[in-house]
Amino acid sequence: MEFSEHIKTANVEDVVLRQPLHPPSRGTLCITGHHLLFSDREEGSSRQLLLLLRNIDAVEKRISGSSGTITIKCKDMRVLHLDIPGMEQCLNIAHSIETLSCLDGVAAMYPFFYRPSDLSLQNQWGLSSTEKYYSQMKELHNRWRLSSVNRDYSVCPSYPPAVIIPQNTDDDMLKKVAKFRQGGRFPALCYYHRKNGMVILRSSQPLTGANRKRCREDEHLLQAVIDGSDKGYIIDTRSSQQAQQARMTGGGFESKSSYSHWKRLHRQMERGKALQESLIKLVEACGDESHNMDRWLSKLENSKWLSHVQTALSTAGLLAECVERDGHSVLVHGSEGTDSTLLISTLAQLIMDPCCRTLEGFLALLEREWVQAGHPFQQRCAHFAYSHARLQQESPVFLLMLDCVWQLWRQFPLALGFSEALLLRLATEAYASDYGTFLCNSHQERCALGVTENTHCLFQALLRPTERDYYSNPLYEPTELAIWPSVHPQSLQLWRGFFLRWTQQARQLEEAQEEIRNMVIEWGKMALS
Amino acid sequence: EEHGQGYTSVEQVRLLDRFSNKSTNGTLYLTATHLIFVESSSNNSTSILHHHIASVEKLSLTTTGCPLVIQCRNFRVVHFVVQRERDCHDIYSSLLRLLRPVSYEELYAFSYNPKQNDQQREEGWQLIDLGAEFERMGVPCDQWQLTDVNRDYKVCETYPRDLYVPITASKPIIVGSSKFRSKGRFPVLTYFYQEKKAAVCRCSQPLSGFSARCLEDESLLQAISKANHNSRFVYVMDTRPKLNALANRAAGKGYENEDNYSNIRFQFVGIENIHVMRTSLQKLLEVIGTRSLNMSDYLVGLESSGWLRHIKAVVDAAIFLTKAVTVEGASVLVHCSDGWDRTAQVCSLGALLMDPYYRTMKGFMVLIEKDWISFGHKFADRCDQLDGDPKEVSPIFTQFLECVWQLTEQFPQAFEFSEWFLLQIHEHVHSCQYGNFLGNNQRQREELQLRERTHSLWAFLMSEKQNYLNPFYSPAYSEVHPVLAPSTLPYNFKFWRNMYHQFDRSMHPRQSILKAILTLRDNSRNAESTLQALESVTAPPAWCDPHRDL
């Protein structure tokens, strides 16, 4: 792929850059295959802006006379303006940005070219895997086994090669179960609760269809899960009406008669396009500079974003309650099992399991529950809230999860080992990144493109000594207890650090966070001296 | 059951959690000053001062007992279920009696005894000295002087004795002006911005009606204008919505006609009146008191209550004042109708933005003492201290505290105190435990001999200073940013959960950054003092080398 064919004008002098939190500056603009580069030419200052083109969500151009202004709206919520002399240059630049920012081929993306001097491609890729998790959880081994039935991805294209399933379920049975579940996503273990031996499994919906088809192997597998215990719960992330309707299109739910030991609980969670539209409305509201309180509150309400946060946290709370307080195993699914399912299983694990709350533990959790479990990042994060492109598979589920984690972090500021900065960094990286971690839609796709061989791993990079401090919570005090969030609307807040991150006020709060870090380090030294 | 010790107790009472299905069993005690609930399982107790109780409601009998709902002025809401209806009725009627004191002498402040001697109490009252405060601002000076015109509260009975006016304003001018202003509240100095010699003055509305004039009032404004050489005009800020001011003209009141006053710039800023504010808070409390509230209803309710809109309006007005003074160097005269509600809010909040001193703990006390207590904000009426007119009750001071809180959220390093300080002040404005906020004005306070018969809240808060410090406070920050310029874009205003849900524990973060930081700081201070103690030992033995691990 030649990037140069898309770059008619590579350099422009005398460009004025206007960006949030900085005074306007005049300098040289340069477009490369992956970046927009701006360097200030004022004497004595060497301010530069290096922006990954992939980070650009929308480009708007306005020509007046012989010059033009390009407005760039980024996926990290930054809005930049470039005043470019020369109409033709302006149009060329805008065209290059538009084209290069949404090129399709994954193999041509920047992570395959990014070669920082302090990282080596020989480094270990990733932090966790199903195999590793299984080997750490010795208590599992009696009743659960590691299956490599999916080693060539033929049973379930979106699952990793290794999965954890009940001991007495053989691979042939699994293949049959996979045929009965959408996308082949058969029930597999994702969490083992050490305190009481209960587990969380996730899957996609069963394909019962209008004829109420059954699958003995599926029933057998689930029976094997609760073996010895009186019942299990199924948390369906759709309303019962939605689940009923799904039967018309071949989907369905686990009926009481076929799964007599499983109790279904329905919690309707927003998904897909509706969630994307919610984000679009919220981002629009946050960009509204008018001084009208009623309008702001009404737009905030109308976006429904905080309602989605509330629902996600309370559903995750329900899941955790079933496991931790009620002492039962739970199967979670919605329809495809790649979005809201992962959202609530992640949050529930954070609520219950102190191991997930360290910096490494949290990153490993994200790796298992999102990257390896097949959340289709490429589709979901193709565009942010500004893009004029027609919506396809975009949906900010991952961002919603980070928002919920932030709410947890606010309510338990000492219990989580990572900082808000980490959540902000992850929110940015999911949409545009130097690293290969969030590329592609599944393990299989990443394998085919050689992502692990040819790109660097974000999670490893975040744990480098230089970065680690910044992403750690200076007030972290591990607790073994579950951290039950309050989901009263009065207890939840707009994630200002993200949605208003380019405002002066967010900067003030960031400075205060920095201040905390410095004080804690200072006092720590004193207490040790 | 009546006890010899002077309290009543009722056993087998259940305290229901407002937002969950949890409840605790215990015993309810009614003393002369408090209603106390003691949990039988843990001996934890909830203690409610009678003065904090805003209303008591007895609901109809249920199978489990007789429900009693108590709403407090500090936003605590408790829901008891008393097993026997007769007990419930006894408590209910006792509370109703205690709830409505008719004379000041019945208030807690007159019986509260923190075991201090007279000298200590006297020192407590001397902590805040407004004369010294005006000196700190640079007044008296060549343009402003102290006047004794109100020495006997003759000119204005709701103003303090000591007032500061332009040097060129003669007594006849002052007296003339006072007759042309509602309740005699003529224009006086409340804050002096030394850097630009610009003054913030306050007063009540002029009795202008449709066309009345008052030459003395006009010359007093002229004198205020002349006292500032930096600006050729003085701003007159009417903090009311224009419509309200217009309506007042029909009653012979109104606002300044720009044609009659030379060199004024007149400006409305549109803060609503006490009745709108009271209703707004009621709506807000109704919404947030709903059980199993969902997010949409919460946000819709927050909007329709208008509460945050009103908070924003007050902050906007304070910013207007601050800009006029600090950027343009102009003097500003602020008024509303009587000049003791909105005017107090705007003047004090403006001064807080302009002067870092008011963002310290002591400075904040001084600010409240000056703009609220001494200038006659009607605390007794607004906070319903005695059984009075319910239409006079309004959360004006609460709004001021909330505006300050919103600013502390925007400028975490600019304030010496944390939100607990604001909450504690709010608590005691309503507790009537200290003398500071009793009554409606200074004259009344002197008559009540509060300095002799009650204790000062400020001394108590100062003695507990450690509890209210903001660990992020940076005096250096204030040196770089002496004047705060907050953003009032709507998204910067938040619901103040710690105020309106202070007592609803299930609403709050389960861990507090503030507490963690304070503990860490104390630990390190202890370590430091241990270190110093060790270092002070001459020739310490090797085992206590301070560089070794302790």
Would you give the distance in Å from CA A18 to the centre of its chain?
30
Containing H/E element for B237? strand B234-238
pLDDT of residue A528: 63
Which residues of chain B does A281 touch, with a Cβ-Cβ cutoff of 8 Å?
A: none
Residues A192, A197, A203, A205, CA torsion sign: negative
Which residues of chain A does B513 touch, with a Cβ-Cβ cutoff of 8 Å?
A: 413-414, 475, 516
The alpha-carbon radius of gyration of chain B (Å, integer) is 26
What is the per-residue pLDDT across B491-501, written as a single tens digit (0 to 9) for each?
999 999 999 99
What is the percent of chain B where pLDDT is above 70? Answer: 95
Q: How many CB atoms lie within 10 A of CB B522?
A: 12
Neighbour-count burial of A197, counting CB atoms closer than 10 A to its CB (0-12 exposed, 13-18 middle, 19+ buried): middle
Non-local (6+) Cβ contacts of A379 within 8 A are A392, A393, A394, A441
Whether B491 sits inside 8 A of A500 (CB atoms) is yes
Give the neighbor-by-neighbor strand order of the sheet with A56-64.
A48-52, A35-40, A25-31, A11-18, A79-85, A67-74, A56-64
Average pLDDT over residues A129-155: 95
* Span between the terminal Cα atoms of chain B, in Å: 58
Integer Cα distance of A521 and B30 in angstroms: 50
For residues B208-229, one letter each, b for 16 or more C-beta atoms within 10 angstroms of the residue's C-beta and e for the rest, the string is beeebebebbbbbbbbbbbbbe
Q: Is a pLDDT exceeding 70 seen at residue A529?
A: no
Given pLDDT bands bounded at 50, 70 and 90, which one contains residue A44? low
What is the percent of chain A where pLDDT is above 70? Answer: 98
Secondary structure class of B261 (helix, strand, coil): coil
Integer Cα distance of A127 and A463 in angstroms: 10
For residue A287 the two structure tokens come to 């960009």
How high is the ipTM of this complex?
0.93
Which residues of chain B does A490 touch, with a Cβ-Cβ cutoff of 8 Å?
A: 288, 293, 298, 495, 497, 501, 507
Nearest chain B residue (CA) to A476: B516
Integer Cα distance of A329 and B487 in angstroms: 50
What is the per-residue pLDDT across A315-351, written as a single tens digit (0 to 9) for each?
999 999 999 999 999 999 999 999 999 999 999 999 9
Q: Is a pLDDT exceeding 60 seen at residue B361?
A: yes
Whether A520 sits inside 8 A of B520 (CB atoms) is yes
For residue A508 the two structure tokens come to 């003030």
pLDDT of residue A66: 86
Q: Is a pLDDT exceeding 70 seen at residue B548?
A: no
Non-local (6+) Cβ contacts of A353 within 8 A are A191, A193
Place of tokens 């605790």: B24
Given pLDDT bands bounded at 50, 70 and 90, which one contains residue B489? very high
Whether B293 sits inside 8 A of A503 (CB atoms) is no
- CB-nearest partner of B501 from A294, A295, A490: A490
A486 vs B: CB within 8 A: yes
A469 vs B: CB within 8 A: no
- Rounded to 5 degrees, φ, ψ at B13 are -110, 140
Given pLDDT bands bounded at 50, 70 and 90, which one contains residue B346? very high
Place of tokens 């946050």: A286
Q: Rounded to the nearest 5 degrees, what angle is found at the Cα of B38, between the Cα atoms of B34 and B43?
A: 135
Q: Is a pLDDT exceeding 90 seen at residue A520?
A: no
- Residues belonging to the binding site of B for substrate are 273-274, 336-342
Residues A349, A354, A357, A359, CA torsion sign: negative
Give the neighbor-by-neighbor strand order of the sheet with B45-49.
B45-49, B34-39, B23-30, B8-16, B77-82, B66-72, B53-58
Q: What integer best gives the mean pLDDT of chain B? A: 92
Test the A interface: residue of B292, B295, B478 with most A CBs within 10 Å: B295
Among A residues 377-436, those touching chain B with beta carbons less than 8 Å apart: 410-415
The type of residue at A261 is: H
Integer Cα distance of A28 and A25 in angstroms: 10
Whether A512 sits inside 8 A of B472 (CB atoms) is yes
Q: Worst-scoring range by mean pLDDT, A24-38, B2-16, B134-148, B255-269? A: B2-16
Average pLDDT over residues B260-284: 96
Among A residues 291-310, those touching chain B with beta carbons less than 8 Å apart: 291-298, 300-301, 304, 306-307, 309-310
**Across the strands, what pairs with B199?**
B192
Q: Is a pLDDT exceeding 50 seen at residue B549?
A: no
Integer Cα distance of B461 and B365 in angstroms: 10
Q: Rounded to the nearest 5 degrees, what angle is found at the Cα of A507, between the Cα atoms of A505 and A508?
A: 65
Given pLDDT bands bounded at 50, 70 and 90, which one contains residue A195? very high
Neighbour-count burial of B543, counting CB atoms closer than 10 A to its CB (0-12 exposed, 13-18 middle, 19+ buried): exposed
Neighbour-count burial of B148, counting CB atoms closer than 10 A to its CB (0-12 exposed, 13-18 middle, 19+ buried): exposed
- Rounded to 5 degrees, φ, ψ at B229 are -80, -10
Q: Is a pLDDT exceeding 60 seen at residue B4?
A: no
Nearest chain A residue (CA) to B523: A527
Average pLDDT over residues B465-485: 93
Q: How many CB atoms lie within 10 A of CB A242?
A: 18
Give rounded-to-5 percent helix, strand, coil for chain B: 45, 15, 40
Which residues of chain A does B549 touch, with a Cβ-Cβ cutoff of 8 Å?
A: 528
Which residues of chain A does B471 touch, with a Cβ-Cβ cutoff of 8 Å?
A: 519
Q: Worst-scoring range by mean pLDDT, A127-136, A360-369, A507-516? A: A507-516
Residues B515, B519, B521, B522, CA torsion sign: positive
Given pLDDT bands bounded at 50, 70 and 90, which one contains residue B546? very low
Give the neighbor-by-neighbor strand order of the sheet with A232-236.
A188-193, A198-202, A329-333, A232-236, A262-266
pLDDT of residue A118: 85
Average pLDDT over residues A25-44: 89
pLDDT of residue B1: 42
The alpha-carbon radius of gyration of chain A (Å, integer) is 24
pLDDT of residue B46: 92
- CB-nearest partner of B412 from A296, A413, A509: A509
- Rounded to 5 degrees, φ, ψ at B38 are -110, 120
DSSP A125: P
Whether A516 sits inside 8 A of B410 (CB atoms) is no
Q: Where are the alpha helices (DSSP H) in B329-382?
A: 342-354, 361-368, 379-382
Q: Is a pLDDT exceeding 80 seen at residue A526?
A: no
Integer Cα distance of A299 and A292 in angstroms: 11
CB pairs under 8 A between A and B: 149
For residue A129 the two structure tokens come to 């895997």
What is the per-residue pLDDT across A242-277, written as a single tens digit (0 to 9) for each?
999 999 999 999 999 999 999 999 999 999 999 999
Test the A interface: residue of B19, B288, B501, B511 with most A CBs within 10 Å: B511
What DSSP line would sit under A42-96, residue for residue?
STT---EEEEEGGGEEEEEEEEETTEEEEEEEETTS-EEEEEEESHHHHHHHHHH
What is the per-residue pLDDT across B364-386, written as a single tens digit (0 to 9) for each?
999 999 999 999 999 999 999 99
Integer Cα distance of B31 and A26 in angstroms: 74
pLDDT of residue B5: 54
Q: Give the β-pairing of B198-203 and B188-193.
A: antiparallel
For residue B272 the two structure tokens come to 């609503």
What is the per-residue pLDDT across A408-452, written as a single tens digit (0 to 9) for each?
999 999 999 999 999 999 999 999 999 999 999 999 999 999 999
Average pLDDT over residues B427-447: 97
pLDDT of residue A5: 86
Given pLDDT bands bounded at 50, 70 and 90, which one contains residue B535? low
pLDDT of residue B545: 35
Residue numbers of B annotated as active site? 336
Q: Rounded to the nearest 5 degrees, what angle is found at the Cα of A525, between the Cα atoms of A519 and A528?
A: 135
What is the percent of chain B where pLDDT is above 90? Answer: 83
The type of residue at B508 is: H
Integer Cα distance of A39 and A49 in angstroms: 6
Q: What integer best gives the mean pLDDT of chain A? A: 94
pLDDT of residue B536: 58
Whether B413 sits inside 8 A of A511 (CB atoms) is yes
Whether B295 sits inside 8 A of A310 (CB atoms) is yes
Integer Cα distance of B374 and A342 in angstroms: 61
**A320-325: which pairs have CB atoms within 8 A and are 24 or more residues apart?**
A320/A348, A320/A351, A320/A352, A320/A482, A320/A484, A322/A233, A322/A235, A322/A265, A323/A193, A323/A196, A323/A198, A323/A199, A323/A200, A323/A348, A323/A352, A324/A193, A324/A195, A324/A196, A324/A351, A324/A352, A324/A482
Given pLDDT bands bounded at 50, 70 and 90, which one contains residue B543? very low
